[in-house]
Amino acid sequence: MVKALRALAICGAVSAALVACSKSEAPPSADKVSADAAFQKKLQEQLLDAKPGSVIDIPAGSYHLTSGLTLRANGVTIRGAGMDKTILSFKDQVAGPEGMLVYASNFTIEGLTIEDSKGDGLKINDGDNITIRKVKVQWTGGSKVTNGAYGIYPVKTRNVLIEDCVAIAASDAGIYVGQSNGVVVRRSRAEQNVAGIEIENTVNADVYDNVATNNTGGILVFNMPNLSQPGHSTRVFKNKVDKNNLGNFAARGTAVASVPAGSGIVINSNSKVEIFDNDVTDNQTANVIISSYHSTGYFTEKGVASNYDPYPKAIYVYGNRFKGGGDSPDGLDLKALKIAMYGLSGHMPDVLWDGYVDTKLLVKGQLPAEQRICIQNDAEVLNADGPNKYKNPSKDSAPFRCELAKLPAVSITQLAAQS
C-alpha cells in the first residue's frame, strides 16, 4: 500500500489542473519573507478587529504564513481575488493547529486557496448561516497520512452552503459537514482525499452536482456514536462519483480508516438517505455500499452510547447510472467474497450491503415498510452476510424491490436570499 500511495503522489498521476508539483522550490528571498510577515500581521489584526458587517479583502498573491488564523466575530466576509489568485500557504506553519479557525455566525468566505496547513484547512465551529464559496483547500505534496484531517470542515453549524469549492489530499475528508442542520454542498470537486465528501451526523443535507474522483471513498453519509446528534434525511443526487480507488491513507483508529479503497457512495448507520440521478462508475470495491457500524472495525475506548442506532434504515437508491466497478475489491475478505460469488474475472454488483439488520424490528423477515432498504434501477444487490462472516451471502435482489417516500429538498437561508 505504501508503494501505491507514493506512486499516486507523483506528478502526472493526478490532474495537473488541480495539483502542481515541482522537484524543488527555491527558498524565498529576505524581501519576500519580510513582506509575508507584514501581511500576516495585518491580516491577523483585521480578523481581531472585525465587527458585524466587516469585509476583509485579501488581494491576489501567494502568502506564506507561519501561524494559523482565527476569527471570532459574527457577520464577517473574507474575500480573496479568486481561488487561484489568492493563496494562503501554511507550509511553514509553526503555531495553531488549523489554517483558519472560525467561531462565528453569518460568515462568508470566498475566492481563495488555503494550502498545506498542519491540521484542518478551514474549520468553522458552531455557527449559523455559513457560506463557503469558491474556496480550495489542498495539500500540495500528495496524499499522505501527515496531511491535515479535514479540508473544508464546518461542524455543529446550521444553514450551511458550500458551493464551487475544491478539496484535495485531506487525510480524512476533503469536504466534511458534521453534527449540523440544513446543509447544501453543490458544484464542488473532491480528489485524492480518503473521503471525498462526507456528511456525518447531520440532519437535512442536499449533496448535488459535485465531482468525487480518485478518493478512497467518493461520497460518505455516516452516523457515528457518541456525538451531539444522530443524522438523517440526506439526499445525494446529480453527482459524478468516478474511480475512487485510492489506497486508504487515513490515520489508524479513525473511522474513515475502515473505508475500503474503491468505494463510490457509502452509507453507514444512517437513516432516510436518498441516492438518485448520479453517475457512479468504476469504483473497484462497489459503486454503492450500505453498511452498519458493526462493519467498520472502529470502536471507541469509551464504548458506544446506549441510544446509538448502528443500522442503516430507510435507504432509497433509484434512477442512477452505474457502470463498471466491483472488479477488484479492497481487503482479503471482500476479494474472497467476490471470487466465491462471481469468479476470478467477475465483479461485485453495483450495490453491496453488509447484511447487518436490527433483528428486533423484523416482521416476517422484513423491516417495517418505511425503514426498508429499497433499490431500483434493476441494480443487483449482494447481501454479504457480514453477521456470519460472509458464510451465506445472497444475490437475491427481490427483497430490495420496494419504494420509499421521497425526501423534500433542503431549504436554507442563503438559498432563499439568492432566489
Does some domain include residue 256? yes
Three cell numbers at 174?
476533503
Does some domain include residue 181? yes
Look at residue 414 in the predicted model and tell me its pLDDT. Answer: 58
Does some domain include residue 174? yes
Does some domain include residue 128? no
Q: Report the domain count for the chain.
A: 1
Whether residue 326 contacts residue 347, with contact meaning beta carbons closer than 8 Å, is answered with yes
Look at residue 116 in the predicted model and tell me its pLDDT. Answer: 98
Three cell numbers at 371?
425503514
Does some domain include residue 122? no
Three cell numbers at 117?
496547513
Look at residue 377 in the predicted model and tell me its pLDDT. Answer: 80
Residue 39: strand, helix, or coil: helix
Whether residue 341 contacts residue 395, with contact meaning beta carbons closer than 8 Å, is answered with yes
Look at residue 300 in the predicted model and tell me its pLDDT. Answer: 72
**Using alpha carbons only, what angle is made at residue 216 by residues 345 and 282, rounded to the nearest 5 degrees?**
40
Does some domain include residue 59? no
Distance of CA 185 to the CA centre of its chain: 10
Render pLDDT for 81-131 as a digit per residue (tens, 0 to 9). Answer: 999 999 999 999 999 999 999 999 999 999 999 999 999 999 999 999 999
- What are the residue ranges in the chain where pLDDT is below 50? 1-23, 416, 418-419
By residue range, what is the domain housing residue 360? 139-410
Look at residue 208 in the predicted model and tell me its pLDDT. Answer: 98
Question: Residue 143 and residue 167: Cα distance in Å, rounded?
Answer: 12
Look at residue 419 in the predicted model and tell me its pLDDT. Answer: 39
Residue with cell 416482521: 363
| Residue of 207, 202, 228, 193 whose CA lies nearest to 120 | 193
Whether residue 86 contacts residue 55, with contact meaning beta carbons closer than 8 Å, is answered with no
Question: Residue 162 and residue 144: Cα distance in Å, rounded?
Answer: 25
Report H helices in 249-391: 332-342
Strands 86-89 and 122-125 come out as unpaired
Does some domain include residue 343? yes
Quick one: CA torsion of 163, 168, 169, 174, rounded to 10 degrees? 0
Question: Residue 254 and residue 256: Cα distance in Å, rounded?
Answer: 6
Does some domain include residue 104? no
